[in-house]
Amino acid sequence: MSVIRIKRLVQAVILVAVAVYTTLLLYQTVSASGYVQQSQRSPTVGSPAAREPRLRTATTTPAATATATATAPATAPPAALDHLFLSVKTTRSYHKWRLPVLLQTWFQLARNQTWFFTDSVDVEFQEKTNGHMVNTNCSSSHNRKALCCKMSVEFDMFLESGKKWFCHVDDDNYVNVPRLLKLLGQFNPQEDWYLGKPSIRSPLEIILRDNPKRKVSFWFATGGAGFCLSRALALKMMPVASVGKFISIGEKIRLPDDVTMGFIIEHLLRKPLTVIDQFHSHLEPMKFLHQDTFHDQITFSYSRYSKDEMNVVKIDGFDKRIDPTRFLSLHCFLFPNSNFCSR
């Protein structure tokens, strides 16, 4: 080997070493500044209002999209029905009015996975649901404590079930079961996921009694639209929320069950809500949902505006007297082969 060749070789080696070193330095600087920014935002170091709550929007925020696509591409197969624990919150006086239409429609698509959480023993509906009515022994009043009590029992039963996903809905929700499974298939239940839809435009701000100087702000998914938690997240919540601790937290912050859920996940555990626009509560006007998007919606709802005006999905089908909630007509639109749909 000539001297010139050796010299060139040494030069090349030095060049590579310098490049590697520079890259490492750059990398270190970036992570360090990231760390500083984070600790500045942390409540103990920064000013009280400094922390901006994070909100993942499944469709628009680049970071969230990256997370979602990294775990599963949009073409991911749907989650298996049997990985789902689906709880429906109801109460004694609504069994007769609200449950029959659910039992006739979407419940048929998830009979083994759906459980009704109520506040009494009801032999008739115990039979109609194949023993899927759960008497929570919670009060039947619609107050905060009773609501948190039911959510607490739902959460504990999910943990016991060993299922991968916990989804909660209300007894005025229609669940598009295959679409829900498609959604869950896009996320990894071994990662922390809180999927749902807020009904307010900005995070909720509250002041805690034990620290009145500091505002706490967080997002929460509206319970009446439905929301889902991955098993990994539920396991992390266990120390603060299982075996009735959920009720104590609700009492402490004096807010309803769905808000308490958001407080635990976003504030105590610092895990962001991922917004899923296809969940719908009765707080939204149902008539603005277009029929050509029904297959893509995950939940629907209804409510009564006044004596003769209902907030319901706009769809032709059964007569309003037979189908006041429009859930029968909706079900036949989505699943025309169902037994009661004339074709």
Q: Which residues belong to the active site?
A: 258
The distance of closest approach from Cβ of residue 257 to ligand NAG in the complex, given in angstroms and rounded to an integer, is: 16
Q: How many residues touch ligand NAG (CB under 6 A)?
A: 6
Nearer to ligand NAG, 137 or 211 (CB): 137
Nearer to ligand NAG, 135 or 139 (CB): 135
Does 153 bind ligand NAG (CB under 6 A)? Our answer is yes
Backbone angles phi, psi at 69, to 5 degrees: -75, -30
Nearer to ligand NAG, 136 or 186 (CB): 136
The distance of closest approach from Cβ of residue 133 to ligand NAG in the complex, given in angstroms and rounded to an integer, is: 11
Collapsed DSSP state (helix, strand, coil) of residue 206: strand
Under rule CB under 6 A, which residues in 213-242 are in contact with ligand NAG? none
Under rule CB under 6 A, which residues in 120-139 are in contact with ligand NAG? 134-137
Q: Single out the residue of 28, 33, 60, 112 in contact with ligand NAG (rule: CB under 6 A).
A: 112
The distance of closest approach from Cβ of residue 177 to ligand NAG in the complex, given in angstroms and rounded to an integer, is: 12
Nearer to ligand NAG, 61 or 135 (CB): 135
> At what angle are helices 231-241 and 245-253 packed, to 10 degrees?
70
Other C-beta atoms closer than 10 Å to the C-beta of 12 total 10
Cα distances from 182 to residues 82, 107, 209, 265, in angstroms, run 13, 17, 42, 24
Q: What CA–CA distance (Å, rounded) separates 333 from 202?
A: 35
Nearer to ligand NAG, 86 or 273 (CB): 86
The distance of closest approach from Cβ of residue 117 to ligand NAG in the complex, given in angstroms and rounded to an integer, is: 9
Please enumerate, as own/partner, the contacts of 247-255 that have beta carbons within 8 Å and a separation of 24 or more. 247/145, 247/148, 247/149, 247/152, 249/148, 250/144, 250/145, 250/147, 250/148, 251/144, 251/145, 251/148, 252/208, 252/209, 253/206, 253/208, 254/144, 255/144, 255/206
The distance of closest approach from Cβ of residue 109 to ligand NAG in the complex, given in angstroms and rounded to an integer, is: 9
**Which residues make up the interface to ligand NAG (CB under 6 A)?**
112, 134-137, 153
